[in-house]
């Protein structure tokens, strides 16, 4: 199903778009747009102007949920739109980011990706030991 939405998004992005009002959207175009929009994954490929007020609410919820799913991995901080999160969601996301940072740090293999400011003194000692082991045995 995701690949269908992806293909539809590519088709819509590669088509020449006429100025607003220059042509009426076909039912197929509206359906394809709605499918892309409701995935929540491609907000920039969604023509929000074609949506009804009810569809806009559904799409906003889908975009927020997809953003939350991305944020909760803790791995893609630059893709996480924290301004869309509630206070409790933000708390969970920050915890997920700290956990992911600790996982990265504890490998000892990627010191430049480790944010030491998020570590406790005990964790920092463990990370330093992991980095020393990684340096002794190679990083590959």
Residue 130 belongs to some domain of the structure: yes
In angstroms, the CA 92 to CA 73 distance is 10
Q: Which residues constitute the domain of residue 34?
A: 1-61
Are 95 and 136 within one domain?
yes
**Span 45-79, pLDDT tens digits:** 999 999 999 999 999 999 999 999 999 999 989 99
Cβ atoms of 102 and 119 closer than 8 Å: yes
- What is the percent of the chain with per-residue pLDDT over 90, rounded to a whole number? 76
Choosing from 13, 31, 61, the residue where a domain stops is 61
pLDDT of residue 12: 54
Average pLDDT score, the chain = 87
Domain count across the chain: 2
Are 125 and 102 within one domain?
yes
The pTM of the full predicted model, rounded to 2 decimals, is 0.70
The tokens of 108 are what?
């000892």
Alpha carbons within 13 angstroms on the beta-carbon side of residue 2 total: 4
Are 20 and 77 within one domain?
no
**Span 8-50, pLDDT tens digits:** 555 555 554 544 445 678 999 999 999 999 999 999 999 999 9
Are 78 and 57 within one domain?
no
Are 24 and 82 within one domain?
no
Are 77 and 136 within one domain?
yes
Residue 95 belongs to some domain of the structure: yes
The tokens of 63 are what?
């975009």
Cβ atoms of 116 and 127 closer than 8 Å: yes
pLDDT average, residue stretch 95-123:
95
């Amino acid at each position: 199903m995701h690949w269908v939405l992806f293909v539809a998004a590519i088709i819509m992005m590669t088509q020449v778009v006429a100025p607003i009002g220059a042509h009426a959207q076909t039912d197929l175009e509206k359906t394809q747009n709605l499918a892309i929009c409701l995935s929540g994954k491609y907000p920039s490929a969604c023509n929000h102007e074609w949506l009804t007020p009810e569809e806009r609410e559904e799409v906003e919820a889908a975009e927020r949920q997809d953003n939350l799913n991305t944020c909760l991995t803790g791995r893609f901080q630059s893709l996480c739109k924290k301004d869309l999160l509630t206070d409790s969601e933000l708390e969970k996301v920050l915890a997920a980011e700290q956990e992911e940072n600790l996982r990265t740090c504890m490998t000892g293999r990627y010191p430049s990706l480790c944010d030491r400011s998020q570590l406790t003194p005990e964790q920092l000692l463990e990370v330093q030991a992991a980095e020393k082991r990684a340096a002794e045995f190679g990083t590959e």
